[in-house]
Structure formats: structure tokens, C-alpha cells
Amino acid sequence: MSETFFDAREGPRDECGVFGVYAPGHDVSRLAYFALYALQHRGQESAGIATCEGGHITTLRDLGLVSQVFDEQKLSALQGEAAIGHVRYSTTGGAGWENTQPVWRDDGREVALAHNGNLTNAVELYTELKEAHGLGFRGTSDSEIIAALISSSPERTVEDAVVGAMQRLEGAFSTVVMTKHAVVAFRDPHGVRPLSLGRLGEHFVVASESCAFDIIGADLLREVNPGEMVSLSAKGLEVRQAVKPQRTSFCVFEQIYFSRPDSRLEGRVVQQVRGRMGEILWREAPVAADLVIAVPDSGNPAAAGFSRASGIPKDDGLIKNRYVARTFIQPGQELRKHGLRLKFNPLPEIIAGRRVVVVDDSIVRGNTTRQIVGMLRDAGAEEVHLRISAPPIRNPCHYGVDMSTREEMIAHRRTVDEIAEHVDADSLAYLSLEGVYEAIGTPAEDHCDACFTGRYPLGDNGSGNSKFALEEIETIPAGR
């Protein structure tokens, strides 16, 4: 597939989703397919599944959504006792086919690997593996670097090879790797990106989020601990603390936006956490209004909480087209003038003549928000008040989320009043960081909130490690 991906949303891009299962006697490719279907929100650029049958690994991956990449015929060709899967939004390396996952390598040990996160030392490792060890790379993603470290390891078992690789990796990584004998999942020592362990009958599964377990009938056991490795094989479940855990730095934006509302993180259902954010947002920033509406779908839980706490009724003032935003077809010049109406359509019968509170999870560049305010005014809204269930985003993420550059962010060097004026809102208020953590119910020191505060907990602000850093290495002339 060579079509250009079109997405009407300008906010932070979902990163990636991973899944792994070792379950002889089960249709593992179908389990992987439906698990990835549940994780589709984490990445829409590409999808892939690898299976192992009788010591032979087969990988199928392509650009597109899960339902576009796989059909009954393709799934029937992916048989075996184990499977891993991946949905991708690119955060290191471009969106071309060569960077789709699972990655397959055989540098002495045959592996397939799927990864969510971002290595902050990717350039260093890539250069070392190419120049010192003579390893070749098909793509330019940091996922292939992890696969190369494990595949080329002289260690006897894949578990020992993973431990050795984890000791070399810096940054965020929640990863599953499959060999001929096992599926091994591991999480970085800071626990930046999510990874959960579940049970499927007498077998075990791993996934980025627990919503993947629900769709296949598995039960959530717990989250994989920072620095921990879990191995699924004929031996059952084996757990090892592979590297010493560091200061826990779980991405707070998983709670605010990335994870599905029905997933369970840090012991709580995300839907409830986001609803509580809306309630606290009302307490911190009340406003006289007639109607609460959400920017669907990510603003729905907070809008419901805001309405509950305030007593202001909530209705669907913006209707979302859930299909156009994930099309690979560009709208063309004639339709482009309609802008955001390709994704959202306001209802004048609900909005006209009313003071409206619009609840959303974030504002990044502000272009979409300005268009939404304009559409609501055109639909007859008397006043438009914006309430955002997160603090202002002022800094890019270097741990697995593709955001705008700092200079592109609307909150960069602007006050809240200046942002409100820029998007033409009658008022604007953000949820405080203290309010975010009150809603989550876990300490601030257990999270990464660098996108709000600029404090990067992994000791590296990621400068010089851009999304296309490995492509840039390949284009540098020899001798420089």
C-alpha cells in the first residue's frame, strides 16, 4: 500500500501497541489479530503478526490498519503455538514498509520483535552494530537495533540475550520478542510505556493494554514491572528482574489520552480517572454556561465528569465521523476547504443561542481547536468556553510519542489568556498538574510529565535524537 495517511487530528500521535502469546492448541494468529484490533488506537500506520510453528517463524506485516492488512486467507497461513503482533505509529524512523513490525532478524539467533517506545541512545548503538560488528539493517527504526542486539548475542538462551540487551538500552522500551522456543516480554527500568501480563486458560499473554485481554477472553494478572522480563514457553511462565528498576517514570499522558478508556492502569480503570479529571477541572475552573460538550472521543470522559460536578447538562454538540480520520485517501482541494468538517460536524439545533463549555484532553498546535471554536460560533453558540483536562503542553516527548516541536506548540511562550485569544475562545482553563495526579491517585514522582514540565526523568532530553536520526546518518557523506 502506498497511499498517504490522512488524519484530521493534530494532537500527540499514539505510539505503538504490542502483543504476545504462547498457547499451543489455540489459534494464535487469530488471538493476535483481535488483540491488535483492540490496540488499534495506539497506531494506525502499519500492522503485523509473526507466528512460530514447529521451529519456523513466519512474519506478515504491511502498511494499513489491522483490518486492511489481514484477512482470513492470510491468518490461516499464520499457524503455530506462539505469536506476537504490532500496530505502529512511527516515532523513530519513517513510516515506510521497511520499518513495519514485527521485525525479523537472524544474526545467529532467529527472532521476531515488536517494540513500543524510543531509545535515546539509538544512534550510538546503530553506529556500533554497523561499524564494529558489521551488521546490516533493512530499516531505520530503533526496534531493529533491539532485535539485532538479541539476535547477535552469543548467550545460550534468549532470556540471557535479552538481559544483555537491556543492559545496553537507554530510553523507553516495552518489547516482545519471539524465538523458536519462547515469547519473551520486557520493560525498561523506568516503566515509561505500559505493558501488562494476562492469563488465557492455562497459558499466558502480554499486551500494551489490558483491553487486548478482554477481547480474547484473557484475564489481567498485573502490569509487568519496570526492568522485569517475563518468558512464556512450554515451561509456563518464568519471571526475572533483568535489570535493576530505576525511578518509576510512567507516562502520565497514557492516563490522559493514549490508553483506551476501558484499560486498567496503575490499578484503576482509565475511564474513571478521566472522569475524575473533569470533576476536578470544574472545581478549579468553574464557568457560567448552559451546555457541556466534548471533543469526541477523547474528551468524552472528562466532559461527563465536568457535567456531573457542575450540574450543567451534557449533550453531543459535535458529531464525529469515525471513518474519514483513518482513511488513506487525501480529501483533495475541493473538499479541503471544508477543513475539520471532514471529521467533526456541529449541531446548530443543540448549540445555537447557548453558552457552551467545550471539554478536550489537550491542545498542541491550536489549529484544530481554533477551527472547532469557529464551527461552534458559526452554528450559533453564544459563548464558547474551553476546558482542557491536562496542563499546557510545552515540550516534545522523546520516549515514544510523536509530538510537534517546541516552537510549533501553541503554549510555547504564550500565556493562557493569549492562547484563548488565539483560538477565539471566550475563556480557557487547563487542569493543573496537581489535579491530574489527584485524579490518577498515584504520586507525581512515579510519572514522566516532561511534556508539561520539561523535566525529563531518564537523564536525557533527547536533543539530537530526532525521529529521523537514523535516516540522517545514512545520508551523511563518507568521511564526515
Q: What is the pLDDT of residue 2?
A: 31
Q: What is the pLDDT of residue 467?
A: 52
Place of cell 502520565: 252
Burial class (CB in 10 A: 0-12, 13-18, 19+), 225: middle
Are the C-beta atoms of 319 and 344 separated by less than 8 Å?
A: yes
pLDDT at 354 over 90: yes
Q: Residue 321 — pLDDT band, cuts 50, 70, 90?
A: confident
pLDDT at 322 over 90: no
Query: Measuring CA to CA, which residue among 432, 431, 428, 402 is closest to residue 415?
Result: 428
My answer on whether omega of the bond before 102 falls inside 30° of 0, hence cis, is: yes
As a whole-number percent, the residues of the chain with pLDDT over 90 amount to 80
What is the distance of C-alpha 255 from the center of its chain? Answer: 11
16 flagged as catalytic: yes
Strands 447-448 and 250-251: parallel
pLDDT at 249 over 50: yes
Q: What is the pLDDT of residue 10?
A: 52
Q: What is the pLDDT of residue 97?
A: 84
Return the number of other C-beta atoms located less than 10 Å from residue 244's C-beta: 9
pTM to 2 decimal places? 0.90
- The terminus-to-terminus CA distance of the chain in angstroms comes to 36
Are 16-249 and 270-445 in the same CATH fold? no
Q: Which residues contact 307 (CB under 8 A, 6 or more apart)?
A: 278, 292, 313, 314
Range of weakest confidence among 11-15, 20-24, 168-172, 301-305: 11-15
Using the CB atoms, write b or e for 269-307: b if 16+ within 10 Å. ebbebbbbbbbbbbeebebebebbbbbbebbbbbbbbbb
As a whole-number percent, the residues of the chain with pLDDT over 70 amount to 88
CATH number of 270-445: 3.40.50.2020
Q: What is the pLDDT of residues 168-197, one digit of tens each?
A: 999 999 999 999 999 999 999 999 999 999
Structural class in CATH, domain 16-249: alpha beta
Q: What is the pLDDT of residues 309-318, one digit of tens each?
A: 999 999 999 9
Are the C-beta atoms of 232 and 22 separated by less than 8 Å?
A: yes
Are the C-beta atoms of 220 and 157 separated by less than 8 Å?
A: no
Q: What is the pLDDT of residue 466?
A: 52
Rounded Cα distance between 42 and 450, Å, is 20
Q: Residue 9 — pLDDT band, cuts 50, 70, 90?
A: very low
Are the C-beta atoms of 116 and 16 separated by less than 8 Å?
A: yes
Are the C-beta atoms of 337 and 331 separated by less than 8 Å?
A: no
Q: Give the residue-averaged pLDDT of 110-135.
A: 94
Q: What is the pLDDT of residues 407-433, one digit of tens each?
A: 999 999 999 999 999 999 999 999 999
Q: What is the pLDDT of residue 405?
A: 86
The mean pLDDT value of the chain amounts to 90
**Count of all residues that appear for the chain in the document:** 480
Are the C-beta atoms of 314 and 350 separated by less than 8 Å?
A: no
Instruction: Please provide the DSSP assignment of 181-208 as one string.
Output: SEEEEEE-TT--S--EEEEETTEEEEES
pLDDT at 72 over 50: yes
Rounded Cα distance between 62 and 60, Å, is 7
Q: What is the pLDDT of residue 329?
A: 56
User: What residue segments make up the domains of the chain, in order of their start?
Assistant: 16-249, 270-445
Q: Residue 461 — pLDDT band, cuts 50, 70, 90?
A: low
Q: Give the residue-averaged pLDDT of 233-241.
A: 97
Return the number of other C-beta atoms located less than 10 Å from residue 236's C-beta: 11
Judged by phi (left if over 0) then psi (alpha if -120 to 50, else beta), residue 217 lies in: left
Q: Which amino acid is at 412?
A: H
pLDDT at 340 over 70: no
Indicate which residue of 16, 52, 251, 397 is catalytic: 16
Q: What is the pLDDT of residue 3?
A: 32
pLDDT at 460 over 70: no
Q: Give the residue-averaged pLDDT of 264-276.
A: 97
Strands 203-207 and 228-233: unpaired
Q: Give the residue-averaged pLDDT of 241-248.
A: 96
Q: What is the pLDDT of residue 402?
A: 72
Query: Measuring CA to CA, which residue among 442, 427, 438, 433 is closest to residue 393?
Result: 433
Q: What is the pLDDT of residue 473?
A: 57
Rounded Cα distance between 44 and 46, Å, is 6
* Position with higher pLDDT, 215 vs 467: 215
Are the C-beta atoms of 470 and 141 separated by less than 8 Å?
A: yes
Rounded Cα distance between 184 and 477, Å, is 39
Range of weakest confidence among 174-178, 281-285, 393-397: 393-397
Q: What is the pLDDT of residue 48?
A: 98
Q: What is the CA radius of gyration of the chain?
A: 23
pLDDT at 464 over 60: no
Query: Measuring CA to CA, which residue among 125, 170, 164, 165 is closest to residue 457?
Result: 170
Q: Which residues contact 413 (CB under 8 A, 6 or more apart)?
A: none
Are the C-beta atoms of 410 and 366 separated by less than 8 Å?
A: yes
Q: Residue 4 — pLDDT band, cuts 50, 70, 90?
A: very low
Q: What is the pLDDT of residue 5?
A: 33
